[in-house]
Structure 1
Amino acid sequence: MSRRVSPGLRSGSLPLLVALMTLLAGLALAGLTGIQALAEGWSRAAHSAATIEIPTDIPNASDRTNALIQALKAMNGVTNIQKLSTDKVQELLSPWLGQPVGSHKGLPGLSLPEVLIVAHTPGTDLTTTVHDTLPEAVLQEDLQWGQRLERLGTSLTGCAWLAVTLIAAIAALSIGMTVRRSVAAQKRAVEIVHALGAADLTISSHIAGRAALLSFLGGIAGLVLLTPLTTSLATTLSPFAHQSALPTAFPTTLDGWWTTLRILPSSLLKELGALPFIAACLGWLTAQGVVLVWLRRLP
């Protein structure tokens, strides 16, 4: 029976289908991990920093700026103050303003502010001190951007998991159609074996086992196809890992691939490693259900 009932499951359609679905699910998870890594890095930095812009065209700008710096240093919770001069701000903005880097010639009609970067402990409120000392100054807490990025990360997380759920649903539907066509092609053989007394569960379990095996192999193939993409993601994320031994170019050797992949979050590696097993379980459950329903319709 096994040679006659399930030859259709030995074709390349089912493994190829699962490989493509695994590739799509892995892409969604890898993209999600990259976005979360960037958002978390920004969020950690934003929780303890603020930017203060001070116009340079106000009366006594230099003295009032120094007074603000002294007031901030006297605050509990302020850990560091970095002052960026107008020349430094101009240098940082030169790619957008069209000013050559290193040139100290001002742009006509453009007055750039001085900028203070204030590092502080979480929960420190600088608003009152800044507004009382220098009302013209503009205070921007980086925490606001961190909260926005956190909300963005949460939204993208939901979208990624929705995409994975839809991929799983499409995979189950496609596997079910493939298994049903395979069983229908062997209808006469199944009817004979069924009439001889073979239990429905025995027949369905045999076919489901083949479907699970082919789905697992398809999942492995999908991970192999996904390897260059995850390696590229790891190379892109390497500057954020703060490890000097990390490669900065795309690896071309097996050792280079392994070294690069090690910087990926362990949660992502576990999720990717679980995809073939999830595909196998999905294939087994789908095949069981489809075959049992089909057998119950036999006269």
Structure 2
Amino acid sequence: MSRRVSPGLRSGSLPLLVALMTLLAGLALAGLSGIQSLAAGWSQAARSAATIEIPTDIPNAPDRTDALVHALKALDGVTNIQKLSTDKVQDLLAPWLGQPVGSHKGLPGLSLPQVLIVAHAPGTDLTATVHDALPEAIVQEDLQWGQRLERLGTSLTGCAWLAVILIAAIVILSIGITVRRSVAAQKRAVDIVHSLGAADLTISSHIAGRAALLSFLGGIAGLILLTPLTTSLATTLSPFAHQSALPATFPTTLDGWWTTLSILPSSLLKELGALPLIAACLGWLTAQGVVLVWLRRLP
């Protein structure tokens, strides 16, 4: 008669629900990994550079700028100095300020600064040297932007993990409702097995095993649905990962998919691979709890 209990878990919708939840969780984890990788790269790059803006309308600006460059080169920790002329700054700002008309160099009524980009070792302080040579100059350490990116990455990480937790809660709720309805629909069969001496744990384990299997299959289906999306994400992120050998378009062969997916962080691949197992564990635990509570309420 115990075999009559297993059909009671009529949960054709359970694998579909778990597949959709796995898809959402995978998207959250993929987005989280992408944000962390980009933020880490930007933060690392920002730790070793500073931007110095020098007004061009100050007295003896060229000579004082050259003196500042020599002073910076004499500092320990400064590795490179790149000088951007006002014309170069104008070209960089052209999308926002517009292009000058005719042969005029510069925009009417606007004085653009000369910019120095100084690469230096972490911890090198340029402020005192710059202000001694050019008090009018403005020093902007890119490290500040790196710290802001870190805070942004931390907040987005928290949001992504919150989304994963909410998805897990929805999975537990969906499995619980499905198992309860299925068991309630087979109340007579469960009553018969229970009255014949079957232990509560035996009945709940039988149903929980079925729920775990269906949840695992739903997780596998979710990963299959997630594959094109993660492949597209990997293709998009490949320039940032400096993988020039990767195809610039969406791969159409199995080898192309595998090569593209190989640039994803190993931690992300492990997390995605663990999703079906996590779904199976949630299904087993939820079904066990729901069935045991339901059986204990029987007269």
CA contact (8 A) 1:216 1:277 kept: yes
Give the equivalent residue in structure 2 for 1:161: 161
Give the equivalent residue in structure 1 for 2:267: 267
1:185-224 aligned at under 5 Å gives the runs 185-224=185-224
Give the equivalent residue in structure 1 for 2:117: 117
Paired residue type of 1:36 = Q
Between 162-171 and 118-127, the greater mean CA deviation after superposition: 162-171
d(CA) in 2 for partners of 1:277 and 1:163? 19
Between 223-232 and 76-85, the greater mean CA deviation after superposition: 223-232
d(CA) in 1 for partners of 2:104 and 2:226? 49
The secondary structure found in structure 2 opposite 1:239 is coil
d(CA) in 2 for partners of 1:254 and 1:39? 30
Give the equivalent residue in structure 1 for 2:276: 276
The secondary structure found in structure 1 opposite 2:111 is coil
The alpha-carbon deviation at position 257 of structure 1 amounts to: 1.1
d(CA) in 2 for partners of 1:82 and 1:59? 22
Paired residue type of 1:273 = G
d(CA) in 2 for partners of 1:159 and 1:2? 45
Query: CA deviation digits over 1:4-26, x for unaligned, max 9?
Result: 32325354210011111111111
d(CA) in 1 for partners of 2:222 and 2:168? 14
For structure 2, the residue ranges without an aligned partner over 5 or more in a row are: none
The aligned length equals 297
The secondary structure found in structure 1 opposite 2:239 is helix
Query: CA deviation digits over 1:118-148, x for unaligned, max 9?
Result: 0000000001001111011110000000011
The secondary structure found in structure 2 opposite 1:115 is strand
Relative to the length of structure 1, the TM-score reads 0.96
Give the alignment's Cα RMSD to 1 decimal: 1.4
d(CA) in 2 for partners of 1:247 and 1:271? 25
Paired residue type of 2:208 = A
Change (3 A) 1:196 1:212: same
Change (3 A) 1:104 1:216: farther
CA contact (8 A) 1:207 1:287 kept: yes
Query: CA deviation digits over 1:43-97, x for unaligned, max 9?
Result: 0001100000111111111001000000000001101001011111111122222
Change (3 A) 1:44 1:186: same
The alpha-carbon deviation at position 287 of structure 1 amounts to: 0.2
Give the equivalent residue in structure 2 for 1:250: 250
The alpha-carbon deviation at position 105 of structure 1 amounts to: 3.3
Query: CA deviation digits over 1:214-238, x for unaligned, max 9?
Result: 0001011111111121111111110
Query: CA deviation digits over 1:132-188, x for unaligned, max 9?
Result: 110111100000000111111111111111111111111101100100000011110
Give the equivalent residue in structure 2 for 1:151: 151
Give the equivalent residue in structure 2 for 1:287: 287
CA contact (8 A) 1:6 1:182 kept: no
The alpha-carbon deviation at position 104 of structure 1 amounts to: 7.2
1:15 aligns with 2:15: yes
CA contact (8 A) 1:49 1:119 kept: yes
Query: CA deviation digits over 1:187-216, x for unaligned, max 9?
Result: 100100111111111111110000000000
The alpha-carbon deviation at position 3 of structure 1 amounts to: 4.3
d(CA) in 2 for partners of 1:270 and 1:114? 48
CA contact (8 A) 2:212 2:282 kept: yes
The alpha-carbon deviation at position 254 of structure 1 amounts to: 1.5
CA contact (8 A) 2:238 2:244 kept: no
Paired residue type of 1:149 = L
Give the equivalent residue in structure 2 for 1:107: 107
d(CA) in 2 for partners of 1:18 and 1:60? 71
d(CA) in 2 for partners of 1:247 and 1:52? 38
d(CA) in 1 for partners of 2:268 and 2:99? 43
Paired residue type of 2:220 = I
Between 103-112 and 153-162, the greater mean CA deviation after superposition: 103-112
Paired residue type of 1:51 = T
- Taking only the aligned residue pairs, the percentage that are identical comes to 90
Paired residue type of 2:290 = V
d(CA) in 1 for partners of 2:36 and 2:242? 17
Paired residue type of 2:200 = D
d(CA) in 1 for partners of 2:239 and 2:79? 26
